[in-house]
Structure 1
């Protein structure tokens, strides 16, 4: 029976097991939206395309399935670019569908026209355009496959407005999951011989693909073999932090002694990640060690320095193969001393203590910020309390900035797929990431950790949480400045902060603006024909219906402003007890900087 190309795209997503599409609507892909009306795929209506892309990225990282975002042409695609760059540098599977002008309008500078390949080809694995309605399902399936294969990443699919409504009898394609490569016996024998010969071997885990729990299996094997495990930046949920092999993370905010241990290793086995500039402190450490690279990417993109052996495998297939080897056989003459020393250093670094004891907050700004004497919360204490309450099982989402470093240092992870952070340093991921996490895993606690600057990048996606029943807890650390940039300015231009001050609202009051009357409108609400990003309403169009066709009970928001350390614990307990979205606005002194990385005792 004939159906439109737009409906075939939706049917293909259903067949692939996609559960949610994160969308900002536009008239350029109305037929896809119509196909979603009767679909089992939930349409999560977002408030800005950057937020929609970040939500899709978060779902991909937490589930192992490609995240799906749909946006309109021109301005909509421009807003989504930040999530594409993040997915590209972070190696996360994402498919972005972009509505396009009709084929007949191309190359005429028509309304919102832009060059899809020209924009995205440098930051996407593939850019596809569905110009043939009969191939709509085929190209959708191809996009899903490419996004997940090899080194995962983003794929962009263009949807010409006129092609979507054309009818086709093409069947819904069967999507065969490509089995990831598995290490060969000879490769394992070579690797284990290398490990046995090393004096100070170490694993470095990172990237996506640890959601199965294979990191815990690998950690048990490494502990039995006396091998410490470091993790790449914002990928340290790969293994339980309770493991005796856990040696800390590399990159921003790490302990200096952790980086020294990484530099001391005479053999490094990278699994799921590479030796990048972040992990190697700007290409300065870890280059002398014998290097084994375990990755699904034969090109070893983003890896710097030597490769003595490369094994094509996913984290799961590699861990499954390696744990079949007797760990005792690779010990050689090593004891547990090397591993135990590395673990002890990270344990001391992550131990809860006030900032005053951890070397934080020595930066001055020469009186530039008149509110620098306001009361402030000791984040060392606050994040210790938060860690106690969360118990290592919450999903944590991060944007960018100094405010996140306390979370990285003090918040444990004891289960996989519990961390979503922009490894490329993009701001604005924390709030939409936590919203997506709470929708994908409503039984888990989702907590966003963000600074004031980061929050206002995509804080509007709190509305998406209320609309779809998400229950994130958002913690906003407010110092009134772009703190990371201030710290760099103090290093390079001391006493001359410029372009870094901000004026903020009372973030807690945002939550009181949402009450039961706000409602949780269904994703199948009637859409404005004009679209969300500058589309023109059809000439002669009648009144646009605004009432949702289906509605769900609304939720109340909970917000609190915390100005002193003593106020934080009771405010946190009230927020955690609240059945709905909650926000804690935490004020700190602008001069406060993250705890010193050289403190380990």
Structure 2
């Protein structure tokens, strides 16, 4: 069947199981947009390319195949760059299509021309340009496979506008299978031997692609084997927080006891992640501890310190191959696991923070009581998220999206995408005032394409994370970290959504109930005390006057 290369791209996406693409339209890929006109694929038109990229990233993390975004050349590609960097550092599968100038215009500084490879080669798994219309389908299938295989990540495909309209008789390719990475018998035997001899082992889980069956099986094994499980930074949804093996997380906002336990361990098992700077307290903790890494990444990107065994496989392949838990328990009596579990339960117990405005310790206790068991929670960057990480529970994989690279502006687009993907399921975004307004415009997409996310905006009028660092390194000298905000509730109401400005703690829970019952996209704008920083931060402990936090 003869069709244009642009239409073949759409047919290939359909065949690969893609259900949504997130796009800002551009004249450089009009033929692809024309193909989408009659397609079953849902084209979600976003308001900014950064929002489109973040939505595709959320799709990749919450779904089973890479998320897909489409943007135009030059400025559009530049705006989408933040999502690529996030997907690269977070190891999340996504594919970005970028419309390009015609082939004949290359190298002439033509309108919006740029070097696709020069921009993206260091932050993607692959950069491709469609220069042969007959390869359109194969290139798309290859890109989706590359994004999802091994260590997941972003792939970029450039689409010259003149190539897209050329006709081809090439057929639609089938789905390319991912590599089979079953664990070896030798590797399992080494794992069994090392775990059997350990007195205080620890499993650290991370990465994307976990499913409920793998999560439950690992938690059952850990309980019987007397091994506590901690998670990577912003991978808290991998293990149900009600599981007795779950003992918290490592990385930003973690408890001091989690760090102490890391240093006390005599065997670290990283499952789906590596020992990065974040997990090792800036390359300072437990670098020489005996270490097993189980990850489907031959290069072990980001791993620091000792490595005794590398099992080149995925959690989904490794967990079913685990030995009988009673055979690897050794002489452990369970006290190690029980102690870490109790310490995490104590750490996750909310308490009042004090200060003016909304007390976030009390507010997040109300959130924890109110939110559905299967709620999806999305986060931006900044200290405002620390209350959520500490006090809000997750009960299964694919219920959290947050930027592990610390990118601001993810919370709202991720929540919008989650609402579109899972209609009827509760979706809540936790963000600071700075993070919220970086991509707040994407809430308009919910009104156009469905979903009713609740956005909780913590407004302290400052860039809290940077203030925390300033107070540590340049005490009592705030500079460039304050901001003035509008009434976000009124702003949301102007869209036709539900918005409430909450200025006192006692008003929060009733406002929360009204927002959830409204059935509309909603914003709760919480005015908080800038002196009350995220739990565990430097500034929270050191603050003794409002002067530190004012402009």
Report the TM-score, using the length of structure 1 for normalisation.
0.88
Cα distance between partner residues in 2 of 1:506 and 1:204: 41
Residue matched to 2:548: none
Instruction: After TM superposition, list the pairs within 5 Å mapping 1:502-517 onto structure 2.
Output: 502-515=483-496
Residue matched to 1:386: 367
Query: Is 1:270 matched with 2:270?
Result: yes
Cα distance between partner residues in 1 of 2:514 and 2:303: 45
Query: Is 1:333 matched with 2:314?
Result: no
Residue matched to 2:26: 26
Could you report, residue by residue, the CA deviation over 1:53-81 in whole angstroms, capped at 9, with x for unpaired residues? 00000011011310100000000000000
RMSD, matched Cα: 1.2
Residue matched to 1:163: 163
- Give the conservation status (yes or no) of the 8 Å contact 2:90–2:405: yes
- Give the conservation status (yes or no) of the 8 Å contact 1:25–1:72: yes
Aligned partner of residue 345 in structure 1, secondary structure: helix
Residue matched to 2:388: 407
Residue matched to 1:431: 412
Aligned partner of residue 457 in structure 2, secondary structure: strand
Could you report, residue by residue, the CA deviation over 1:307-362 in whole angstroms, capped at 9, with x for unpaired residues? 1000011111111211xx21111011110100001111111000122124xxxx7x
Residue matched to 1:568: 508
Cα distance between partner residues in 2 of 1:212 and 1:98: 35
Instruction: After TM superposition, list the pairs within 5 Å mapping 1:49-198 onto structure 2.
Output: 49-198=49-198
Which residue among 586, 598, 601 is the counterpart of 2:526? 586
Instruction: After TM superposition, list the pairs within 5 Å mapping 1:227-306 onto structure 2.
Output: 227-306=227-306
Aligned partner of residue 437 in structure 2, secondary structure: helix
- Give the conservation status (yes or no) of the 8 Å contact 2:372–2:426: no
Query: What displacement does 1:595 show?
Result: 1.9
Cα distance between partner residues in 2 of 1:339 and 1:149: 33
- Give the conservation status (yes or no) of the 8 Å contact 1:391–1:412: no
Cα distance between partner residues in 2 of 1:144 and 1:267: 36
Aligned partner of residue 355 in structure 1, secondary structure: coil
Cα distance between partner residues in 2 of 1:439 and 1:490: 41
Aligned partner of residue 439 in structure 2, secondary structure: helix
Query: What displacement does 1:391 show?
Result: 4.5
Query: What displacement does 1:578 show?
Result: 1.2
Query: What displacement does 1:394 show?
Result: 0.8
Aligned partner of residue 155 in structure 1, secondary structure: strand
- Give the conservation status (yes or no) of the 8 Å contact 1:452–1:480: yes
Query: What displacement does 1:211 show?
Result: 3.1
- Give the conservation status (yes or no) of the 8 Å contact 1:233–1:279: yes
Query: What displacement does 1:393 show?
Result: 2.1
Could you report, residue by residue, the CA deviation over 1:141-164 in whole angstroms, capped at 9, with x for unpaired residues? 110010001100000000000000
Residue matched to 2:545: none
Which residue among 445, 451, 455 is the counterpart of 2:436? 455
Aligned partner of residue 121 in structure 2, secondary structure: helix
Which residue among 350, 353, 357 is the counterpart of 1:376? 357
Residue matched to 2:451: 470
Cα distance between partner residues in 2 of 1:35 and 1:328: 57
Could you report, residue by residue, the CA deviation over 1:72-130 in whole angstroms, capped at 9, with x for unpaired residues? 00000000000000000000001000000000000000000000000000001100000
Cα distance between partner residues in 1 of 2:286 and 2:64: 30
- Give the conservation status (yes or no) of the 8 Å contact 2:149–2:179: no
Aligned partner of residue 505 in structure 1, secondary structure: coil
Cα distance between partner residues in 2 of 1:381 and 1:590: 16
Cα distance between partner residues in 2 of 1:575 and 1:136: 46
Query: Is 1:343 matched with 2:367?
Result: no
- Give the conservation status (yes or no) of the 8 Å contact 2:141–2:176: no
Cα distance between partner residues in 1 of 2:529 and 2:221: 45
Could you report, residue by residue, the CA deviation over 1:551-599 in whole angstroms, capped at 9, with x for unpaired residues? xxxxxx1000000000000000001111120110001011111123799
Cα distance between partner residues in 2 of 1:108 and 1:503: 44
- Give the conservation status (yes or no) of the 8 Å contact 1:475–1:584: yes
Report the TM-score, using the length of structure 2 for normalisation.
0.96
> Tell me, which stretches of 5 or more residues in structure 1 are unaligned?
362-374, 516-556
Q: For this pair of structures, how many residues does the alignment match?
A: 539
- Give the conservation status (yes or no) of the 8 Å contact 2:427–2:452: yes
Residue matched to 2:470: 489
Residue matched to 1:498: 479
Could you report, residue by residue, the CA deviation over 1:281-324 in whole angstroms, capped at 9, with x for unpaired residues? 101102121100101101101100111000011111111211xx
Residue matched to 1:538: none
Which residue among 352, 355, 361 is the counterpart of 2:353? 355
- Give the conservation status (yes or no) of the 8 Å contact 1:180–1:314: no
Cα distance between partner residues in 2 of 1:181 and 1:329: 24
